[in-house]
Amino acid sequence: MKLQLHIRMNEALFLRNPEGSELGKKIIRHSVELIYKNGFEAFTFKKLAEDIKTTEAGIYRYFENKHKLLVYLTCWYWGWLEFQISFHTNNIKDPTVKLKRIIKLLASAVADDEQTNYLNESLLHQIIISEGSKAYLTKQVGEDNKQEFFKPYKDLCGIIGNIVRECNPKYKYPKSLASTIIEMAHFQNFFMNNLPSLTDFGNVKQESAIISFLDHLVFSSIKKV
Amino acid sequence: MKLQLHIRMNEALFLRNPEGSELGKKIIRHSVELIYKNGFEAFTFKKLAEDIKTTEAGIYRYFENKHKLLVYLTCWYWGWLEFQISFHTNNIKDPTVKLKRIIKLLASAVADDEQTNYLNESLLHQIIISEGSKAYLTKQVGEDNKQEFFKPYKDLCGIIGNIVRECNPKYKYPKSLASTIIEMAHFQNFFMNNLPSLTDFGNVKQESAIISFLDHLVFSSIKKV
DNA sequence: TATTTATGATAGCAATACTATCTATACAGG
DNA sequence: CCTGTATAGATAGTATTGCTATCATAAATA
């Protein structure tokens, strides 16, 4: 059975829906590959066009600029992750177990789902680690926020915050703890691989170490006294 | 008495030392103002040149490109902060009190030190919050790291990590906790002001709330059982 | 006084970030 | 079958960015 996951995207992110055509899907797939390979700064619509043998103007019919494309990718990622989380924590009653599972999902490398060839989830995960913050660390964050570009991220943060609250209703910072978990799952990974002396995982370089750190951080915080 | 603080900078960051001339100092001062005002993406050497009534080529004699200038500013900031920390925690014996003081320094808005007119520390602090991560979230992070561009950040992280270890020698993640404190002091501030629903401080919008959150996070983690 | 050094002025060039227009093709509806 | 409409390819053009190079001038220094 081939179960197709579809993530509903904010229409303000694109000019033409990339999911609706072959060219559109190619744009997404290859932009993930190019950004992964060369980084977001070096990524241009010209290079992308050459890569998929279309023209620059062709790309501009889908996305206004590369910032919107990056935001599109991050939104897709958060939506996808929310689904992964709801799938993998389904039927788990204990919020503590749930939270542990979520930390693991957040901090683990992602295997490319061969079934979805819309994009390579594993590369996208790497992009989110290295480039994800650039989606909101801009001067236009306010306007982008008004257009709900960060809704998927906020939704995920809200879900995690609620589970934190279930674990301990008296804990005062569920949302900040949630955003800390999400950001640190990625930043500690980036540091581990690029600036290892900022972490305690430089020698092992294993995600399991990050998971242990986050587990300890989170459960010490929300432990009832 | 006018005590002049001098921060020793990595020479590979510039072509000509900006501290050594009036033009150089103007470059630093005005780049902080412009980046603060328009954001790093919109910041160009051309605009900076117009702002200080020199030529583009004039700026390029000091800095190879705007990335190096951003790294320069972040280095200066971390060096400056290390001094602030050593100054304000001097003579404190209890590592717990020390750590509390450090969290406060990290998460507090900075008053511009009128004495140093090299640059506006208060604006620089805001820049570090919004743009600081872009100094290392690049494809060249490895080469930059080889040239020790992130040494001041690592040093600060090391200092904080050591104090964490003093608080509890058995705690397993002092360095990751240190980088988490530093990053979250800034990210929670950015979120509070720009994406408030990612935090629990949206209503109050006060740094004191971030400090309480970080205090709780850190001291729950390193508490001896 | 000669000479190095810093700056200013100007030019130029390749790449980036778009916008516009025109054509070919497919396919969908009448 | 014809005819609109939507999609994409082809080409051109423009302003800005991100540099590099050259020449002249003024100030500092040897």
DSSP sequence for B26-65: HHHHHHHHHHHHH-TTT--HHHHHHHTTS-HHHHHTT-SS
**Cβ of A195 and B150 within 8 Å?**
yes
Torsion, Cα of A86, A89, A92, A98 (10° steps): -110
Q: What gap in Å lies between CA A14 and CA B57, rounded to an integer?
A: 38
Instruction: Identify nearest nucleotide to residue B54 by CA to C1′ distance.
Output: C8
Q: Using pLDDT thresholds of 50, 70 and 90, give the confidence band for residue A225.
A: confident
Can you give the pLDDT at residue A29? 96
Query: For residue A72, what are the contacts with CB-CB under 8 A and spacing of at least 6?
Result: A9, A13, A14, A18, A28, A63
- Domain-wise residue ranges, chain A: 11-222
Q: What is the mean pLDDT of chain A?
A: 95
d(CA A194, CA A177): 25
Measured between beta carbons, the chain A residues lying within 8 angstroms of B178 are 198
- Cβ pair A90, A81 in contact under 8 A: no
Tell me the average pLDDT of chain B: 95
> Which tokens go with A181?
């978990």
In percent, the amount of chain A with pLDDT more than 70 equals 97
Q: Which of A38, A138, A142 sits opposite B139 (nearest CB)?
A: A38
Confidence band for B2, pLDDT divided at 50, 70 and 90: low
Q: List, in order, residues 6 or more apart from B126 with CB less than 8 Å away.
A: B36
Cβ–Cβ < 8 Å for B30, B48? yes
Average confidence (pLDDT) over B176-193: 98
Q: Is the Cβ pair A220, B220 closer than 8 Å?
A: yes
Average pLDDT over residues A9-29: 96
- B74-90 burial string, b = 16+ CB within 10 Å, else e? bbbbbbbbbebbeeebe
Please report which residue ranges of B168-225 form alpha helices under DSSP H.
174-194, 207-222
Amino acid (1-letter code) at residue B175: K
Q: What is the pLDDT of residues B106-139, one digit of tens each?
A: 999 787 777 677 899 999 999 999 999 999 999 9
| CATH class of the domain whose range is B71-222 | mainly alpha
| C-beta separation of A200 from B221 below 8 A | no
In angstroms, the CA A84 to CA A71 distance is 20
Mind listing the pLDDT tens digit for each residue in A83-119? 999 999 999 999 999 999 999 999 997 877 776 778 9
Q: What is the mean pLDDT of residues A69-82?
A: 97
How many Å does it take to go from CA A48 to C1' D15?
Answer: 22
Which class would CATH give A11-222?
A: mainly alpha
Q: Which nucleotide is nearest to A18 (CA to C1')?
A: D7
Q: Is the pLDDT of residue B212 over 70?
A: yes
> In this predicted structure, what is the pLDDT of residue B109?
78
* CB-nearest partner of A221 from B41, B188, B220: B220
- In this prediction, residue A117 carries a pLDDT of 77
CA B48 to C1' C1, in angstroms, rounded, equals 38
Determine how many CB atoms are found less than 10 A away from the CB of residue B3.
6
Distance (Å) from CA B21 to C1' D30? 21
